[in-house]
Structure 1
Amino acid sequence: MNTVEGKKQEKRRALLDAAYELFLERGTSKTSVEDITSRAKVGKGTFYLYFADKGAVTQALLARVSYQLLDDAVTACERASAPMDFPDKMIFVIDHIIEALRNDTLMLRFLERSFVWPGLDKIEASGEAEPLMRKLLHAIMSSPEMAGLTEREVYQRITALGSMCMSVCYSSILEGKPDHIDAMKPVLYNIIRKALQ
């Protein structure tokens, strides 16, 4: 990467880091573009070179946080010593994400119910994906439980399951509704098993 490109990436990263810190401290709605640029120590014009508006920064951060959670969970699953079938792997990954969010409720508040399956929409749109999603797609498509499904059908299932899990995680951990997360996990994982049959 040349120096100019490296500096561009540094500025973009500084803006994202500043926005994330501020969103966690104050909330998204109480953070302005000026707050972000001030924290990142860049001019307001620099912000608009990288992002159309605060919503674009929010979407970039949702994707970044979701990617990191998913990557950590997949890595932990790969390192697990016990052999697992596909539904067990899915539940392991989801449980890992839920526990990470239980331990970081500020992150959970930021994500709300908006976990982003990073790059999954790009698989659908262009047939391409970045490495983590290629690896996940391969594991999913090669599982016996997904045999006969198209990539679109797999995308729909994963998106639906992910949305359901985030909604349950958010309401159970932060609001205790409809019950505590420990009481909801068996219900959630039973639904996931049935969806993957």
Structure 2
Amino acid sequence: MNKKQETKYELILNAAFEQMKEKGFEKASISQIVKRAGVAQGTFYLYFDSKGAIVPAIAERILEEQLGLIKSEVKENDSIDRIIDVLIEQTFKLTDRNKEVIKFCYSGIAYYDSFQRWEDIYRPYYLWLEKKLEKAITTKEIAQRKSISHQAIFIIGLIEQSAENYFLTDEPKKDEELNLYKQDLYHFIKRAIS
């Protein structure tokens, strides 16, 4: 993709992100998205074949941001304890900040029937954590497992599911409850990988 195409793609993606955040997946229209992006409607269809097709791109953007934040906080020699703590903190912060977008990502992913795309989006995150787990095994911080790849998927899935359960439910919560919730999650994961 050349620079001019990247710019239009990014304009559409940014506009869709904002439009869907404001109006939700169902109420956002392609015409509103392209108007906000300042591009012709036909340009939208150069990149996406439907409104639902843009959802995986938005989900990918959120996950890339999350992984970028995590990588910027995790140092080469950090312990697996520190890494898990960073995973929990950053996942919870990003989920809270993007809860409305995450809600429509789920509905859009289901609508678009792109669960394999979802797994493809997560693959770099899984691989990054696998390397950290391998290092923790080498330094004897955690026990050897038959499948580190499964362990990485389980950890990431549990942290994300926990953050989503906390922020995406309508149940009122107290501030001190969040810290306890994250601490319980941290200790559960630590026991599971020790």
Assess same fold via TM > 0.5. Answer: yes
Q: State how far apart, in whole Å, the 2-side matches of 1:168 and 1:194 are.
A: 21
- Give aligned pairs, total: 180
Match of 1:50 among 47, 50, 55: 47
Q: Tell me by how many angstroms 1:135 deviates.
A: 4.0
Match of 1:91 among 79, 85, 93: 85
CA distance 1:114–1:48, change in 2 (3 Å): closer
Task: Tell me the residue number matched to 2:134.
Answer: 141
1:97-140: CA deviation from partner (whole Å, max 9, x where unpaired): 313444x3xx122113969xxx994499xxxx65x765443212
Q: Tell me by how many angstroms 1:62 deviates.
A: 1.2
1:39-72: CA deviation from partner (whole Å, max 9, x where unpaired): 1111212111101211221111111012102211
> 55-64 or 89-98: which moved more?
89-98
Task: Tell me the residue number matched to 1:175.
Answer: 171
Q: State how far apart, in whole Å, the 2-side matches of 1:113 and 1:46 are.
A: 23
Identical columns (%): 22
1:27 aligns with 2:24: yes
More contact order relative to length (CA 8 Å, sep ≥ 6): 2
Task: Tell me the residue number matched to 2:102.
Answer: 111
Task: Tell me the residue number matched to 1:11.
Answer: 8
SS of residue in 2 equivalent to 1:78: coil
In the alignment, is the contact (CA less than 8 A) between 2:30 and 2:51 conserved in 1? yes
In the alignment, is the contact (CA less than 8 A) between 2:30 and 2:41 conserved in 1? yes
In the superposition, the TM-score normalised over structure 1's length comes to 0.73
In the alignment, is the contact (CA less than 8 A) between 1:24 and 1:110 conserved in 2? yes
CA distance 1:101–1:184, change in 2 (3 Å): same
SS of residue in 1 equivalent to 2:32: helix
Q: State how far apart, in whole Å, the 2-side matches of 1:113 and 1:56 are.
A: 12
Q: State how far apart, in whole Å, the 1-side matches of 2:3 and 2:144 are.
A: 43
Q: State how far apart, in whole Å, the 1-side matches of 2:99 and 2:164 are.
A: 11
In the alignment, is the contact (CA less than 8 A) between 2:12 and 2:33 conserved in 1? yes
Structural RMSD (CA): 3.4
| 5+ long unaligned stretches in structure 1 | none
CA distance 1:84–1:57, change in 2 (3 Å): same
> 47-56 or 145-154: which moved more?
145-154
In the alignment, is the contact (CA less than 8 A) between 1:37 and 1:47 conserved in 2? yes
